[in-house]
Amino acid sequence: MRLILAEDSTLLREGLLRLLAEEGHDVVAAVGDGEALLAAAEVHRPDVVVTDVRMPPTHTDEGVRAAVRIRENWPEIGVLVLSQYVEKRYAAKLIGGDGGRVGYLLKDRVAQVGEFLDALERVAEGGAAFDPEVVRRLVARTSHEDALGKLSPRERGVLEKMAQGHTNAGIAELLYISQSAVEKHVNAIFDKLDLPQAAGYSRRVLAVLRYLGS
């Protein structure tokens, strides 16, 4: 796929470039700040942009702001944000659209090369990818609430995987259960959480996440 990479640390930028090239992706531009990212996105219209959150000049949330702008201007471009921390505000900002084509990973996740590439694929295909850590935080934070308390441990596990953006097939594989079992759990979760069933799995992830993060 065609990618733009925004990361101010040269060391990491080089490493990611190499990795993505080895995987056969085409990195059309590699930049070091939010402004340059927007400019490059406008010119190249890549499939996905991968961006760091903290970049010059202020080292606060340039990456997220650029990502939100890209989501607004060119919805067909997928966005994968790499953050130093779990920042709920940022995650919420990204989810704020119609959902899909977004990812929010902890930066350290890049070192789990397989997971990182997997997340990238999911975003490129129109799905979502949220860091397990983000999901865990959100789930943990709301676990005392009644609705979630109703879920069985198995359902909770499925919800977690779901929230990370995995498809039913993917969840089945990860939890070593059949796909129909997963579907059953998912329906049970929707029932218990009072959520109308949506068509696309990305939207269902976002619905769940929204609920958890509300």
Binding site for another protein (CB under 8 A): 8-9, 11-12, 15-16, 18-19, 22, 54, 59, 84, 107-108, 110-114
- Cβ at position 3, least distance to another protein in Å: 15
> What distance in Å separates the CA atoms of residue 189 and residue 204, rounded to the nearest whole number?
11
Closest CB to another protein among residues 82, 172: 82
- Cβ–Cβ < 8 Å for 139, 131: no
> What distance in Å separates the CA atoms of residue 123 and residue 4, rounded to the nearest whole number?
14
Closest CB to another protein among residues 54, 93: 54
- Cβ at position 59, least distance to another protein in Å: 7
Angle between helical axes of 132-142 and 201-213 (0-180°, round to 10): 50
Closest CB to another protein among residues 15, 96: 15
- Cβ at position 181, least distance to another protein in Å: 32
Closest CB to another protein among residues 60, 178: 60
Q: How many CB atoms lie within 10 A of CB 15?
A: 14
- Cβ at position 39, least distance to another protein in Å: 23
